[in-house]
């Protein structure tokens, strides 16, 4: 059976028939079904965070490893009282400043309200409050917390539009909400607040510098290779197309090492103003207007990887952006998509 699609755009939220659609979606969640919902970062595959059978449907549909915890989504801070220990006023300051928005906070878990497989049997839980108007309205209408990883097959590029969800999961999940695309395009920043100083478990659009400016104290950068991940995105290869992908570190204009001698068909993902450096005959996808268009590149990255995945190219090369606070999350996802396969220029 095909996945059910509800069309709910932002400008339709106050329509009479939207209430009926929201009622249907709530009923689906209540009966343990899973639904693709929009957020400002990527589309999420949501299920009742209290229902272990619903959570297992998420893991099964995605093919996701069971030790990879899920982020719990809420519509109000008051919901945290039901399942977290929130004692530090500094965390509340960050929530007031950045929520709703693309940041998740790892907090100590309280009680047994959440299903054990939601948090991968950890004693902590990552929580966020999305700002996408339709996603937020769904959470508010449902009333209980929803666990929601990205709505894609595990390891593949995350979905930034509902059609990406259909491409990956049609027939595998109960439904998906067709709404506006994600505006950020990269998953949320995840801040571990169970240790001090706080530590970024996964970089996102809210940077270390932005957090420190609010806290007025140091936040530690993320670490890789955790034995047991406490946040999505810490341990496994993610966001990868089926073809081998290499990062051209230092950028396309600085590199002469793209192999054009063989019979393989080459694909290149890079800023538009680097098109002139693309080898003749290569399949080119423009990621953004220029090397400085970091937000545009982040918003378009997963869609570009998905287009390459569907193409007939044999190998893919992707532009490596200059490393700074604004590109940290973008380059984190690019390196993970490539499995850290990097081509360095001799002059860098």
What CATH number did the domain enclosing 318 receive?
3.40.50.11030
Place of tokens 């810490």: 234
Same domain, 209 and 251: no
Evaluate whether residue 222 is within a structural domain: no
Same domain, 174 and 285: no
Evaluate whether residue 106 is within a structural domain: yes
- State which of 215, 233, 262 marks the end of a domain: 215
Same domain, 210 and 277: no
In sequence order, the 6+-apart residues with CB closer than 8 A to the CB of 161 are 43, 181, 182, 303
In sequence order, the 6+-apart residues with CB closer than 8 A to the CB of 210 are none
68 is in an annotated binding site: yes
Same domain, 69 and 150: yes
pLDDT at 311 over 70: yes
pLDDT at 343 over 50: yes
- pLDDT category, 348, cuts 50, 70, 90? very low
> First and final CA of the chain: distance in angstroms?
53
User: What pLDDT shows up at residue 256?
Assistant: 65
pLDDT at 342 over 80: yes
150 is in an annotated binding site: yes
pLDDT at 251 over 70: yes
Interval 256-272 mean pLDDT: 85
User: What pLDDT shows up at residue 214?
Assistant: 97
- State which of 176, 193, 215 marks the end of a domain: 215
Sign of CA dihedral 304, 307, 313, 314: positive
Same domain, 73 and 178: yes
Strand boundaries in 91-217, DSSP class E: 103-108, 124-128, 146-147, 175-178, 189-192, 199-202
| Interval 53-66: pLDDT, tens | 999 999 999 998 88
In the predicted model, what is the mean pLDDT of the chain? Answer: 92
| Interval 162-202: pLDDT, tens | 999 999 999 999 999 999 999 999 999 999 999 999 999 99
Give the phi and the psi of residue 71 in degrees, each rounded to 5.
-90, 135
Evaluate whether residue 227 is within a structural domain: no
64 is in an annotated binding site: yes
Same domain, 40 and 147: yes
pLDDT at 216 over 90: yes
User: What pLDDT shows up at residue 105?
Assistant: 97
Evaluate whether residue 319 is within a structural domain: yes
Task: Report helix angle 162-169 to 294-310, nearest 10.
Answer: 30
| Interval 81-104: pLDDT, tens | 999 997 789 999 999 999 999 999
User: What pLDDT shows up at residue 347?
Assistant: 40
What's the number of domains the chain is made of? 2
pLDDT at 67 over 90: no
**DSSP class of residue 291?**
T
73 is in an annotated binding site: yes
| Interval 5-38: pLDDT, tens | 999 999 999 898 999 999 999 999 999 999 999 9
Same domain, 84 and 157: yes
User: What pLDDT shows up at residue 50?
Assistant: 98
Same domain, 17 and 123: yes
Same domain, 198 and 301: no
CATH assignment at residue 130:
3.90.870.10
Q: Which carries the bigger pLDDT value, residue 1 or residue 16?
A: 16
Same domain, 116 and 56: yes
pLDDT at 345 over 80: no
Same domain, 269 and 177: no
Identify whether the C-beta of residue 130 lies closer than 8 Å to the C-beta of residue 106.
no
148 is in an annotated binding site: yes
Same domain, 250 and 299: yes
The whole-angstrom separation of Cα 138 and Cα 171 is 22
- Is 0.75 surpassed by the pTM of this model? yes
**What is the bridge-based pairing of β-strands 245-249 and 342-344?**
parallel
Interval 253-269 mean pLDDT: 80
- pLDDT category, 258, cuts 50, 70, 90? confident
For 323, the domain range is 245-344
Identify whether the C-beta of residue 227 lies closer than 8 Å to the C-beta of residue 273.
no
């Amino acid at each position: 059976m095909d996945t059910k699609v509800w069309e709910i755009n932002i400008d339709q939220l106050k329509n009479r028939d939207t209430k009926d659609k929201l009622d249907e979606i709530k009923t689906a969640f209540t009966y343990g079904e899973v639904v693709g919902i929009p957020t400002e970062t990527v589309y999420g595959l949501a299920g009742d965070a209290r229902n272990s059978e619903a959570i297992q449907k998420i893991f099964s549909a995605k093919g996701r490893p069971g030790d990879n915890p899920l982020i719990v989504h809420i519509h109000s801070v008051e919901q945290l009282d039901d399942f977290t220990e929130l004692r530090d006023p500094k965390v509340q300051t960050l929530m007031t400043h950045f929520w709703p928005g693309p940041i998740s906070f790892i907090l100590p878990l309280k009680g047994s309200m959440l299903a054990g497989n939601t948090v991968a049997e950890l004693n902590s839980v990552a929580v966020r409050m999305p700002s996408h108007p339709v996603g937020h309205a769904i959470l508010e209408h449902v009333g209980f917390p929803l666990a929601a990883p990205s709505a894609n097959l595990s390891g593949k590029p995350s979905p930034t539009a509902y059609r990406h969800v259909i491409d990956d999961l049609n027939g595998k999940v109960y439904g998906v909400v067709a709404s506006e695309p994600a505006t950020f395009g990269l998953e949320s920043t995840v801040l571990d607040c169970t240790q001090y100083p706080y530590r970024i478990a996964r970089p996102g659009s809210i940077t270390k510098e932005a957090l420190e400016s609010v806290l007025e104290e140091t936040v530690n950068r993320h670490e890789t290779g955790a034995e047991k991940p406490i946040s999505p995105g810490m341990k496994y290869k993610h966001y990868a197309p089926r073809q081998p992908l290499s990062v051209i570190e230092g950028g396309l204009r600085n590199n002469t090492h793209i192999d054009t001698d063989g019979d393989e068909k080459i694909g290149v993902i890079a800023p538009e103003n680097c098109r002139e450096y693309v080898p003749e005959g290569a399949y080119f996808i423009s990621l953004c207007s220029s090397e400085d268009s970091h937000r545009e590149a982040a918003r378009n990255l997963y869609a570009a990887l998905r287009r390459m995945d569907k193409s007939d190219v044999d190998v893919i090369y992707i532009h490596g952006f200059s490393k700074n606070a604004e590109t940290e999350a973008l380059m984190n996802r690019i390196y993970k998509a490539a499995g850290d396969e990097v081509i360095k220029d001799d002059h860098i």
